[in-house]
Structures are given as C-alpha cells and as structure tokens.
Structure 1
Amino acid sequence: MTNAKIALVTGASSGIGEATAQRLAAVGYKVYGTSRRGHQPAKQSFEMLTLDVTNDASVTAAVGEVIQREDRIDLLVNNAGFGVAPAGAEESSIEQARKIFETNFFGLVRMTRAVLPQMRRQGSGRIINIGSVLGFLPMPYGALYAATKHAVEGYSESLDHELRTRGIRVSIIEPAYTKTPFDSNFMEPDDKLEDYREARAGVSRRINEVMATAESPDVVAEAVLDAANAAHPKIRYAAGKLANRLRLLRRFAPAGLVDAGIRKDLRLDARPTSASSRPARAF
C-alpha cells in the first residue's frame, strides 16, 4: 500500500459514499471516509474520520490530518449531502434553503478549497462531485435540492477549466434514483400550505414507486471509479440506465417534450380536489 493513491470521500457512513469508499479500497486506493460522527464500522475496508462539511475548522482539521499522514491527496469525492422531503418551493423557509445549500454546495466548496493547495503542490489530482440528474433537469416539489445540484454542475464545470493546466481534473457524477438511506435524512418543510397538500402527497407516492426499482449505490461507485482512473476524464458521467436515458433525452429531445414528460410522470396537471382561494397553513 505504500504506493497507493490517497482518496478522501465525504459522507461515507452509508449509501453512495460508503459504496464508493469500498469500491476504491477494493482496487488499491488508500481511502479515508468521513462523516459527522466518524464512526468506524466493523470490518470496514477504509478508515473513517470525523468531519462536518459545514464547519470550516472541521474541514481544515480533517484534510490536514490526511495530508500529515500521507503527504498527498490524489482524489477527493464530494458526496456529503441531504434533501428536503417533497414540498412546494414556498413551503420551505429561507433558513431551510440556507441549510441545504450549506451542506450540498458550500460544503463541497469548502472541501475543494481545502484540498486544492496540496493538489497544486503535487501538480496532480482528481475532484469528483456527486451531482444528480436534477443538476440538468427540474424537480417540481424538490426545487431546493435541484437548485443545489444545478449549482454543483456550474461550479464543477468552471473549476475544471481553471485547473486542467495544473494537472487537476474535475468530474460530476449524475445518478438518478438510487437505493440508499438518503430519504431517512430528509428535512421536512417547515412552512406547509394546504394548497400543496395533494400535489405534495402525489409526488411522494410517485417517488416511492420509482424507488422500489431504483439501482444500487454500487452503480454510482463504479462511475466514480471510471472518472477517477480515466486517462482523459469526462466532465460528466451519468450513473445507471435511467440517468443515461434522461441525459440523452435532455440533450436531444425537444424542450416541450421533456417538459410534458416530467409533468405527466409526476401527474402535475391533475386538478386539485380541494384548492382554496387563499393559502392556509397546515398544522
């Protein structure tokens, strides 16, 4: 392992992060996973560190510890994040909007800024950001999460242009629905309105239907490995069959057709049975 590449994977206690850390370790990377608790599961193939991506000091300490131990970081996988349970955009407060951006976007920026000085000294490195198909598609009743993933897309593509001549490349992994405990960490909207109740419930039902046949996080981990090991990495990697289909649709299908397909799939054009003339709070 003395010549192993060093990988740092955030949000590695479960789901996509854990699968990615295990896959990288299996092919010879020395992997440091992170979570807010830093719990080390039994028989894990990688070491866990405590790291809160929303805290500057925590990020600095964890990255500094890896550099102190290994004197390099070859790969950063920014995976840590969470979502909001299906809700209308106006059902989440500004405070909730700030909270999800603090983790899903600014946490990624903190981690990137922390590893880049070391990668620039090395003259090499890979940064792989776990995005989503919602980085290029809208998600009605998931606007805040989709907004964070759109931000990840723009940041990553711009950053890749800045760093290529320094031997550092940036890629985005774009999964669709993935079978993970992700929804167990959903933040409930804090300003629910009766006007959105039926649509909110309908979108939740549809998501549950699709999740029943969702792909394994191993599919995403394999895409991360492809991006990490590619001699000439792409900026975007669709992870899984559905993600690939959606990427092709977005690229080649008329915008009106894509728009109509989203509305039909989520049954958004059904008339509500109890719409009120003015918003009423649901308690």
Structure 2
Amino acid sequence: MNRITPKIALVTGASSGIGQATAERLANAGYKVFGTSRRGAQAGKQAFEMLALDVTSDASVEAAVGEVIRREGRIDLLVNNAGFGVAPAGAEESSMEQARAIFETNFFGLIRMTRAVVPHMRRHGSGRIINIGSVLGFLPMPYGALYAATKHAVAGYSESLDHELRTRGIRVSVVEPAYTKTPFDANFMEPDATLDEYREARAGVTKRVNEVMATAEQPGVVADAVLKAASAVRPQLKYAAGSLAKRLRFLRRFAPAALVDAGIRKDLRLDATAAPQPARTARAF
C-alpha cells in the first residue's frame, strides 16, 4: 500500500487556548502539526511538536520556519494565531509604545510569518494561510480600540493577500471568533496611561466583559472553523466561529447602523456611565 504523506501545519501561539485547540484538532484530522510559543517545548504529552518562536523577531521567525522546512520540506498550512490584547481601556489610555507593541505582535508578527512561509508555498504551487481575526475586525468595541484596530488590519491584509496568491494555488482565510473562553483575557496588557476621566466607564465595561466571558464558547469552536477553512475545496475568505459571531456578522451586514450602534452602547451600559456634560454658558456677540 502507498503511504499517505500527511500535510504539514504550522500554528503560532499554540501553548494554550485557541492555538492549542487548533493544533490538536488539526493533528487529530491527520496533519503533522508544529505548534509554536515563545517558551517552545513544554512538559506533557501532546499530539503535536512545539517549537520556540517569537513572532516579533525576524531571526526567530526565520529560524522556526527554516527548521520545519529542513525537516519536512514543505509547509502546507500556516495558522497565524499568536496575539494579545489590552484590558478594556479608553483609546487614549495606552501610550504610543503600548500601541506599537500590540501591532508588533498581532499584525506585524502575522506579516513576518506570512513573508517567511509564502515563498515555500509558491514553489510548491499550493498552500493555505488562515489568520485568526475577531468579530472586532468588523464590529469595533468601545474601550478596545487598539485590539480592534489590529484585527481590522488583519482582515484587510488577508483579503488583499488572497487576491494576490490564489492564482498561485494559495488561499487565505480569516476566522473571526467572538468571546472565547481561553487564558487570553488573563494575559491582558494593562493600559499604561490610565485617566480618571475613564475610570467609571472602564470599570463598567470590564465588568460586562467578565459577565459575558463566564458563558463564552470554548476554543474548540474556533478550531472547528479553522479545520473547515483548511479542508474546504473552495475556501471562503471569512468564517464566523461560533453562534455569537454569526449573529453579530448578520447584524452588521443587515441591521441599520444606528440600531447596531445603540445596541452596543446599551449592552456595555456606556450611556449610563457617561460623564456629565459641562454647563452651557451664554455667548456674547
């Protein structure tokens, strides 16, 4: 009997949460999976091998991708999952350094990985790239401006890239989850320039996010969407991961903008915590 050669998958940020669930799901589906994290190999039995990789480092990215190519000769699937968020905060409550840091990982890290892998896919004339986006990439959340901005960037980059690469046998998709129960929120970067003016609203949004996270869907829901995108004969550009993500995409597409806007503000109780407006003064002409 002919031996079937498994497809090779590389999944970033696979030490926990969505990345780990995705790597396990792909391995169970027959892929040979290499997961990555800054710490590299971890104790315990896993269905996939872990490699050390820091997506913010050109040298680290080149080394990890080169190791997979040296050992396997190809990469058939890249899942760009590595990323982090900032705890709920006003847009002006993060310094420029913090803004650069989140883009360095969530967006430029994704670009580094793509640039390192695409040449190998082009030579083989095939490949899939799946980027983990977010519903915040099409429906921005107040007090989450920086994270939403990175996910908008991911969505735009992915759509352009798919147009460029599909004639070379490579397809690009974005998987967009909503709230997902992972250690992700435990690793939030705290805002580094907090202002008293936002304290009450920030606390209210944080409380509401915690309430929703208590009933959030499991990371396996996102892993299922990744596997669906990876194995589709005619892959879609975007996949909503989970029931809430699908509802939000429907609302964004078909509901009046004013209705969606009011719904967001009501759900996060923003107007209830709005700062009092200054008294109007008479103007002399």
**Matched residues in 2 for 1:252 and 1:272: separation?**
28
**Matched residues in 1 for 2:254 and 2:277: separation?**
37
Superimposed CA distance per residue, residues 72-106 of structure 1 (whole angstroms, 9 cap, x where no aligned partner): 00000000000000000000000000000000000
**Matched residues in 2 for 1:276 and 1:164: separation?**
55
Which one of 192, 195, 204 corresponds to residue 194 of structure 2? 192
Q: Call closer, same or farther: CA 1:57–1:269 in 2, change over 3 Å.
A: same
Q: Does 1:18 align with 2:36?
A: no
Is the partner of 1:45 in helix, strand or coil? coil
Match of 2:222 in 1: 220
Identify which range, 209-218 or 266-275, moves more after superposition.
266-275
**Matched residues in 1 for 2:110 and 2:188: separation?**
19
8 Å Cα contact 1:85-1:186 kept in structure 2: yes
Match of 1:237 in 2: 239
8 Å Cα contact 2:84-2:105 kept in structure 1: yes
**5+ residue gaps, structure 2:** 280-285
8 Å Cα contact 1:40-1:47 kept in structure 2: no
**Matched residues in 2 for 1:276 and 1:178: separation?**
40
Identify which range, 1-10 or 157-166, moves more after superposition.
1-10
Q: Call closer, same or farther: CA 1:160–1:252 in 2, change over 3 Å.
A: same
Match of 1:270 in 2: 272
Superimposed CA distance per residue, residues 209-253 of structure 1 (whole angstroms, 9 cap, x where no aligned partner): 000110000000000000000000000000000000000000100
**Matched residues in 1 for 2:179 and 2:168: separation?**
35
Counterpart residue identity of residue 84, structure 2: F
Cα displacement (A) at 1:41: 3.5
Identify which range, 64-73 or 263-272, moves more after superposition.
263-272
Q: Call closer, same or farther: CA 1:273–1:257 in 2, change over 3 Å.
A: closer
Match of 1:66 in 2: 68
Which one of 100, 106, 109 corresponds to residue 108 of structure 2? 106
Cα displacement (A) at 1:274: 8.0
8 Å Cα contact 1:195-1:275 kept in structure 2: no
Counterpart residue identity of residue 82, structure 1: F
Q: Call closer, same or farther: CA 1:210–1:79 in 2, change over 3 Å.
A: same
Q: Please tell me the root mean square deviation across aligned C-alpha atoms, in Å.
A: 1.4
Is the partner of 2:271 in helix, strand or coil? coil
Give the percent of matched residue pairs that are identical in Structure 1 and Structure 2: 80
**Matched residues in 1 for 2:42 and 2:207: separation?**
35
8 Å Cα contact 2:130-2:229 kept in structure 1: yes
Please identify the structure whose Cα radius of gyration is greater. Answer: 2
Q: Does 1:177 align with 2:179?
A: yes
Match of 1:44 in 2: 46
1:79-158 aligned at under 5 Å gives the runs: 79-158=81-160
* Structure-1-length-normalised TM-score: 0.96
Counterpart residue identity of residue 191, structure 2: P
* Structure-2-length-normalised TM-score: 0.95
Counterpart residue identity of residue 227, structure 1: A
How many residues are treated as equivalent by the alignment? 277
**5+ residue gaps, structure 1:** 278-283
Cα displacement (A) at 1:39: 2.8
Superimposed CA distance per residue, residues 118-160 of structure 1 (whole angstroms, 9 cap, x where no aligned partner): 0000000000000000000011001000000000000000000
**Matched residues in 1 for 2:262 and 2:278: separation?**
26
Is the partner of 2:85 in helix, strand or coil? coil
Is the partner of 1:105 in helix, strand or coil? helix
8 Å Cα contact 2:200-2:273 kept in structure 1: no
